[in-house]
Amino acid sequence: MIGYRRLSWAGVRLDVQGKSLVIDAIESVGSFRAPMGEPREALCKIGLPGEIDYALITHLHPDHFDPAALKLGLRPNGRLICHPSVAAAASKSGLQVQTTEEWVPTNLGPFTVTAVPAVDGFGAHQVSWVVTVGEHKAIHCGDTLFHGYWWDFARRIGPLDLAFLPINGVVVDYFYETSGLPAALTGEQAAVAARLMKARLVVPIHYREFHNPPTYTSDLNAEAALITAAQREGVAARIARSGELVG
């Protein structure tokens, strides 16, 4: 069994054969503190200093990329893995950066990681990550919107054992003129996406910790919406709190 550890917000961690990999691991939201507010529960540590080998980021928003936490958490030869479109900006953090194009598998010790398309709520470049260990395959979808790549995922990388999907369906009124529409998947949309990707199990991320109306308004019923929709869609759902293992 491959056990992922749920971190805070959108973060997850995987330890295999003495190697550690994290995705979107944060300990603070940096410059997004003004719109997102203070966390409603304490954000957990991503690990001990100098014990993480690889850090993946879906995009550069500070609630998904925390350079200070990664500088502390990565080993001296640890690497940040990202899409080339954000490499120059990510490199300014002083981290060692390695890039990979979409749909190109990259071997990182016991892990094979593949960046796949995603759609950001504000037009920034974003990817999702598929992580394969042996026969086990999981996807982490940052804070993507609902999009038309789900069918491609099922065809090209499915079926999936595990899908970490955002569910807070946040409406933002801060950076741009508000659309009044969700800037990330809702619980119901996440259940549909999981079914379309042929995911065995969906674990919600990117909800609970931040809700700061009117600038950052999360759906506080997202968890219940996911569970109800997952039952309807025939997808298993598992709620995991920060620090819990799931696989």
The pLDDT confidence band at residue 175, using thresholds 50, 70 and 90, is confident
R_g over Cα of the chain = 16
> What does the mean pLDDT of the chain come to?
97
Residue found by looking up tokens 């990388």 in the block? 157
* Residue 112 three-state SS: strand
What pLDDT score was predicted for residue 70?
98
Span 37-72, pLDDT tens digits: 999 999 999 999 999 999 999 999 999 999 999 999
The pLDDT confidence band at residue 81, using thresholds 50, 70 and 90, is very high
Cβ contacts of 153 within 8 Å, gap of 6 or more: 116, 130, 139, 160, 196, 197
Is the pTM higher than 0.85? The answer reads: yes
Phi and psi at residue 141, in whole multiples of 5°?
-115, 30
Helix axes 222-233, 187-197, angle to 10 degrees: 30
Span 142-169, pLDDT tens digits: 999 999 999 999 999 989 999 999 999 9
| 4-240 CATH | 3.60.15.10
Domains of the chain by residue range: 4-240
- Residues 167, 204: Cα–Cα separation, whole Å: 6
**Would you say residue 86 has pLDDT above 80?**
yes
What pLDDT score was predicted for residue 1?
60
Span 178-225, pLDDT tens digits: 999 999 999 999 999 999 999 999 999 999 999 999 999 999 999 999
What pLDDT score was predicted for residue 247?
77
Residue 49's nearest CA partner among 28, 27, 30 is 27
Q: 154: exposed, middle or buried (C-beta count within 10 Å: 0-12, 13-18, 19+)?
A: middle
Edge to edge, the sheet with strand 236-237 lists: 106-108, 111-117, 127-133, 136-140, 162-166, 201-205, 236-237
Q: Which two tokens stand for residue 85?
A: 């479109």
